[in-house]
Amino acid sequence: MTQATDKDRVWIFDTTLRDGEQSPGATMTHNEKLEIAGLLDEMGVDIIEAGFPIASEGDFKAVSEIAMNSEHSVICGLARANFADIDRCWEAVQHAGKPRIHTFIGTSPLHRAIPNLTRDEMADKIHETVTHARNLCDNVQWSPMDATRTEWDYLARVVEIAIKAGASTINIPDTVGYTAPVESADLIKRLIAEVPGAEDVIFATHCHNDLGMATANSLAAVAGGARQIECTINGLGERAGNTALEEVVMALKVRHDIMPWHTAIDTRKIMHISRRVATVSGFAVQFNKAIVGKNAFAHESGIHQDGMLKNAETFEIMRPEDVGLSGTSLPLGKHSGRAALRDKLNTLGYEVGDNQLKDIFVRFKELADRKKEVFDDDILALVTAASESDEHRLEIVSLKVTCGTAGQAEAVLEMDVDGVEHQATAQGDGPVDATFKAVRAIHPNAARLQLYQVNAVTAGTDAQATVSVRLEEDGVISTGQSANTDTVVASAEAYVHALNRLAIRREKSGPGTDTREISYKDVH
Beta strand pairing call for 420-429 and 408-417: antiparallel
Question: Quick one: 19 or 46, whose CB is closer to Zn ion?
Answer: 19
Task: Choose the binding region for ligand KIV from 170-178, 286-294, 302-310, 410-418 (rule: CB under 6 A).
Answer: 170-178
CB of 278 to Zn ion, least distance (A): 20
Q: Which of 29, 129, 143, 384 binds ligand KIV (CB under 6 A)?
A: 143
Which segments within 40-84 are labelled E, that is strand? 47-51, 74-80
Please list, in sequence order, all residues whose beta carbon lies within 8 angstroms of the beta carbon of residue 310, skipping any fewer than 6 positions away. none
Question: Quick one: 208 or 501, whose CB is closer to ligand KIV?
Answer: 208
Distance CA 208, CA 189 (A): 20
CB of 277 to ligand KIV, least distance (A): 18
Radius of gyration of the chain measured on its C-alpha atoms: 25
SS3 175: coil
CB of 202 to Zn ion, least distance (A): 18
Q: Which of 81, 140, 145, 296 binds ligand KIV (CB under 6 A)?
A: 145
Q: Which of 111, 206, 269, 272 binds ligand KIV (CB under 6 A)?
A: 206
Question: Quick one: 54 or 471, whose CB is closer to ligand KIV?
Answer: 54
Distance CA 146, CA 308 (A): 45
CB of 174 to Zn ion, least distance (A): 9
Question: Which residues, numbered 41-80, are part of the site for ligand KIV (CB under 6 A)?
Answer: none
Greatest distance between any 2 Cα atoms in the chain: 75
Element (H, E) at 272: helix 270-281
Does position 148 interact with ligand KIV (CB under 6 A)? The reply is no
> Residue 69 is which amino acid?
N
Q: Determine the distance from the C-alpha atom of residue 391 to the mean position of all C-alpha atoms in its chain, rounded to a whole number.
A: 23
Q: Which does 104 bind (CB under 5 to 8 A by kind): ligand KIV, Zn ion, none?
A: ligand KIV
Question: Quick one: 143 or 481, whose CB is closer to ligand KIV?
Answer: 143
Task: Choose the binding region for ligand KIV from 39-47, 171-179, 190-198, 385-393 (rule: CB under 6 A).
Answer: 171-179
Sites of contact with Zn ion (CB under 5 A)? 19
With contact defined as beta carbons under 8 Å apart, do 78 and 104 qualify?
yes
CB of 101 to ligand KIV, least distance (A): 13
Question: Quick one: 19 or 21, whose CB is closer to Zn ion?
Answer: 19
Q: Which of 11, 12, 19, 54 binds ligand KIV (CB under 6 A)?
A: 19
Which segments within 15-108 are labelled E, that is strand? 47-51, 74-80, 99-106
CB of 242 to Zn ion, least distance (A): 6
Beta strand pairing call for 465-473 and 202-207: unpaired
> Residue 491 is which amino acid?
S
Q: Which does 357 bind (CB under 5 to 8 A by kind): ligand KIV, Zn ion, none?
A: none
With contact defined as beta carbons under 8 Å apart, do 280 and 240 qualify?
no
Task: Choose the binding region for ligand KIV from 159-167, 169-177, 331-339, 490-498 (rule: CB under 6 A).
Answer: 169-177
Distance CA 243, CA 376 (A): 28
Question: Quick one: 188 or 409, whose CB is closer to Zn ion?
Answer: 188
Please list, in sequence order, all residues whose beta carbon lies within 8 angstroms of the beta carbon of residue 431, skipping any fewer than 6 positions away. 401, 403, 409, 411, 488
Question: Quick one: 90 or 104, whose CB is closer to ligand KIV?
Answer: 104
CB of 52 to ligand KIV, least distance (A): 9
Question: Quick one: 25 or 331, whose CB is closer to Zn ion?
Answer: 25
Distance CA 180, CA 45 (A): 26
Does position 175 interact with ligand KIV (CB under 6 A)? The reply is yes
Beta strand pairing call for 11-14 and 47-51: parallel
Residue of minimal Cβ distance to Zn ion: 19
CB of 199 to Zn ion, least distance (A): 26
CB of 143 to ligand KIV, least distance (A): 4
Q: Which does 129 bind (CB under 5 to 8 A by kind): Zn ion, ligand KIV, none?
A: none
Distance CA 107, CA 148 (A): 10
Please list, in sequence order, all residues whose beta carbon lies within 8 angstroms of the beta carbon of residue 4, skipping any fewer than 6 positions away. none
Does position 435 interact with ligand KIV (CB under 6 A)? The reply is no
Please list, in sequence order, all residues whose beta carbon lies within 8 angstroms of the beta carbon of residue 422, skipping any fewer than 6 positions away. 414, 415, 416, 442
Beta strand pairing call for 476-484 and 465-473: antiparallel
Q: Which of 173, 235, 241, 282 binds ligand KIV (CB under 6 A)?
A: 173
CB of 143 to Zn ion, least distance (A): 9
Q: Which of 90, 104, 283, 350 binds ligand KIV (CB under 6 A)?
A: 104
Question: Quick one: 184 or 387, whose CB is closer to Zn ion?
Answer: 184
Question: Quick one: 56 or 143, whose CB is closer to Zn ion?
Answer: 143
Distance CA 102, CA 34 (A): 20
CB of 416 to ligand KIV, least distance (A): 43
Handedness of CA 258, 262, 267, 273 (dihedral sign): negative
| Residues in a beta bridge with 230 | 13, 206
Residues that bind ligand KIV in the complex, under the rule CB under 6 A: 19, 104, 143, 145, 171, 173, 175, 206, 208, 523
